[in-house]
Structure 1
């Protein structure tokens, strides 16, 4: 780079779509800056995935103890304050570690809010002007908020993941990842949980017969799930917050989680001044992650497209941009198979072709009842099933599983799907025995 710009590349945002590519890009000799108005690491690291899984660890321990029954002489319960303190201990060092990683690669961390002045210029906190040859928008998503009367009485997932005291009565509006994962955690910790669905399905991206197994288990544990709730108002009462839904029905609650989805985080970016086109779904990009302005790119959840809004997809896109912007590749991005999982109890995980697509193509679908398989009987899992999809040539092209072991099983089988292993190649993969990995390959 000559003297024309301050940086070769500036990333707006400090989450996985930025830092995973910024450090290796800087290590190639490019001048790189990462601009973040909050903590480096973004939503996933600080107030999303990592926080959720830290709180959920205690849930998994109580679930396994419950299943093992009389084998264990004492059964644990969750201390909410201690669990929250554990979450903070796990998360506290992460932003600093990521800053060190960026610095070690040679990238600069710039604290503040970035706003476009033109296609090459950003204004930081209304004061500092920085220019770059290329700019990457990696601002992710933010919580969608209801606009009904009393909406200010509801909270978002960030608030829940930092609650010092768990409300006795917790109402969740929504039926996606966040809604069902919070319902699982809060119920296991002793809250009286109600889930208000907008329609008649939850977790719409997952195989519905498996979703129904999870919902039935939550109901058995005392969670109230109301489909087609059509929430209308929230109103403060002396004894709590009154929720009006359905045909004039009411419920009284102590705390409301608005889990009605997430939307592109584009506020205050000044995209119009740079000429960048955006829609309600996010920022459209081409197969090189370029926006309609050639030197401005977008990566991660803020992108409008078919890729799932998940951390692995953001990480892959960020690493691709590191190669593209350093001249190591000129090829278009080609996403691998991106798995997804909802951390309910049991979990549902999936990768590759969906069951609906497989049925339309006439592919082979094999269902496995896993509760009778000896490895799943070790901890007496009451819900454990999988579906595997093979194409006419015998390649494994899709898999979904509901069980507490599901994430490990799906991770084990990912290489077969991504690299289209033949049955002979699969048969040569012998995992450690006795482990779940061995069992997964044995079924593939």
Structure 2
């Protein structure tokens, strides 16, 4: 490998790129990574981590109200958006430093600038320097898509939400996926009037229908307004806010418009097509099971491949790449039975096949449910019901999917996902003694 400046050059220092860089360097490879923004990527800097901290902050709105029913003398509480925002950004700064330190400790050279691919083994840095590498890894992630409509420059994306100067009193969110529903819940709890619009008549397409319908019912009861079959027609600045026009509905005036209409792979301007790397119709890098592109020396992991856009998946892909190329331990990522969550209010979580997917694949299925009001909600006079759902093969009893909505659903599902991944059956769940009183016990009591 002495003919090259590096054994591995990574473009993008997000979750997948950092893992691939660190592990490859630990195997003895000479590694460099280029990152034009900040080390840590979408998840750490402008995604899951800061968003989850906002979700924790938002949940206090309900917790403080509920505490009164549990005997606590809680006065009327005001909310200080700048304090939460700045504390969250401070935590992001801390994590950014830790990620940078991790790379440095593993002797990974960091270039804080944009890099483009100029050959199968060649990368050009924004500073003008050209370097060579035996292997190049593309880990540039994805970015929010912005609808093509007049006035779209007046809206923001999830990237900018964390930097809002003031808390908007009226918020319109475009989209109905997990990002849209999570921010709808956050701003609603903070006291904003939230309107969510979507061009179809469904939210959270791809999630189990019963669970997403329950979230829709609860969200409406909380005061979130949904406008379906509504496509953006334009945004206009007025003296009192932003006027948003849409199809099939009257215009609405708000203080802030947030686009949550999907994410596009970050491949523009990277020079990939010029060197022969195949991209799909949305610009994602086409790769095989070993993360290799159409050029043998160029690989890709994470959201830029548009396989499963989840941080833990990107990390596993980065690990598999490093183990295979530099660790003499070849293996591939298993994309079956990946758990996922929506940190809405209340949160959803699921693993495996939905009821519809299972019927399409297996024909005969048995569905077991538990529709209950959590004990805390009962005493708090909070009329929200949780729903747990188990989808099983009708012939073998094997659990094909497990889906839930309710307090702490993601925390409960993570352990249950191990059982689903292991191929356990409904009988295995039934034979497990319930842990009482808990919400999790409903997993072994479903009928």
Same fold (TM over 0.5): yes
TM-score (norm 2): 0.92
Q: 73-82 or 291-300: which moved more?
A: 73-82
C-alpha separation between the residues in 1 aligned to 2:232 and 2:332?
44
3-state SS of paired residue (1:283): coil
Q: 234-243 or 389-398: which moved more?
A: 389-398
Q: 418-427 or 290-299: which moved more?
A: 418-427
Q: Which residue of 2 aligns with 1:44?
A: 43
Q: 175-184 or 434-443: which moved more?
A: 434-443
3-state SS of paired residue (1:232): strand
C-alpha separation between the residues in 2 aligned to 1:230 and 1:329?
49
3-state SS of paired residue (2:423): coil
C-alpha separation between the residues in 2 aligned to 1:262 and 1:171?
18
C-alpha separation between the residues in 1 aligned to 2:107 and 2:379?
48
C-alpha separation between the residues in 2 aligned to 1:35 and 1:78?
39
Asked if structure 2 preserves the Cα contact closer than 8 Å seen for 1:170 and 1:256, the reply is yes
Q: Which residue of 1 aligns with 2:126?
A: 125
Q: 19-28 or 341-350: which moved more?
A: 19-28
Cα deviations across residues 165-201 of structure 1 (Å, max 9, x unaligned)? 1111111111111111111111111111111111111
1:56 positional shift: 0.8
C-alpha separation between the residues in 2 aligned to 1:435 and 1:114?
51
Instruction: Output aligned runs, 1:264-303, within 5 Å.
Output: 264-281=265-282, 282-303=284-305
C-alpha separation between the residues in 1 aligned to 2:446 and 2:250?
48
Q: Which residue of 1 aligns with 2:404?
A: 401
Q: Which residue of 2 aligns with 1:256?
A: 257
Q: Which residue of 1 aligns with 2:388?
A: 386
Q: Which residue of 1 aligns with 2:337?
A: 337
1:124 positional shift: 0.8
1:204 positional shift: 0.8
Cα deviations across residues 86-138 of structure 1 (Å, max 9, x unaligned)? 21232220011011112222322221101011111001115111111111111
Asked if structure 2 preserves the Cα contact closer than 8 Å seen for 1:34 and 1:108, the reply is yes
Pair 34,377 (structure 1): closer, same or farther in 2 beyond 3 Å: farther
C-alpha separation between the residues in 1 aligned to 2:346 and 2:325?
42
Pair 332,52 (structure 1): closer, same or farther in 2 beyond 3 Å: closer
TM-score (norm 1): 0.92
Q: 378-387 or 322-331: which moved more?
A: 378-387
C-alpha separation between the residues in 1 aligned to 2:106 and 2:336?
26
C-alpha separation between the residues in 1 aligned to 2:438 and 2:10?
42
C-alpha separation between the residues in 1 aligned to 2:383 and 2:411?
15
Q: Which residue of 1 aligns with 2:61?
A: 62
Q: Which residue of 1 aligns with 2:162?
A: 161
Asked if structure 1 preserves the Cα contact closer than 8 Å seen for 2:229 and 2:248, the reply is no
Asked if structure 1 preserves the Cα contact closer than 8 Å seen for 2:367 and 2:389, the reply is yes
Instruction: Output aligned runs, 1:401-420, within 5 Å.
Output: 401-420=404-423
3-state SS of paired residue (1:93): helix
1:427 positional shift: 7.0
1:433 positional shift: 6.6
Instruction: Output aligned runs, 1:27-426, within 5 Å.
Output: 27-71=26-70, 72-74=72-74, 76-247=77-248, 249-281=250-282, 282-305=284-307, 308-360=308-360, 361=362, 362-371=364-373, 382-391=384-393, 392-421=395-424
Pair 395,68 (structure 1): closer, same or farther in 2 beyond 3 Å: farther
Pair 422,102 (structure 1): closer, same or farther in 2 beyond 3 Å: same
Cα deviations across residues 45-100 of structure 1 (Å, max 9, x unaligned)? 00111111011102222223434552232165532122212212322200110111
Q: Which residue of 2 aligns with 1:17?
A: 16
Asked if structure 1 preserves the Cα contact closer than 8 Å seen for 2:145 and 2:264, the reply is yes
Cα deviations across residues 327-367 of structure 1 (Å, max 9, x unaligned)? 42334443352111111101111111221122332122111
1:258 positional shift: 1.4
3-state SS of paired residue (2:415): helix
C-alpha separation between the residues in 2 aligned to 1:106 and 1:428?
51
Pair 136,230 (structure 1): closer, same or farther in 2 beyond 3 Å: same
3-state SS of paired residue (2:232): coil
Gaps of 5+ in 2: none
Pair 102,407 (structure 1): closer, same or farther in 2 beyond 3 Å: same
3-state SS of paired residue (2:101): helix
C-alpha separation between the residues in 2 aligned to 1:26 and 1:98?
15
1:16 positional shift: 0.8
Asked if structure 2 preserves the Cα contact closer than 8 Å seen for 1:37 and 1:113, the reply is yes
Pairing 1:8–2:22 present: no
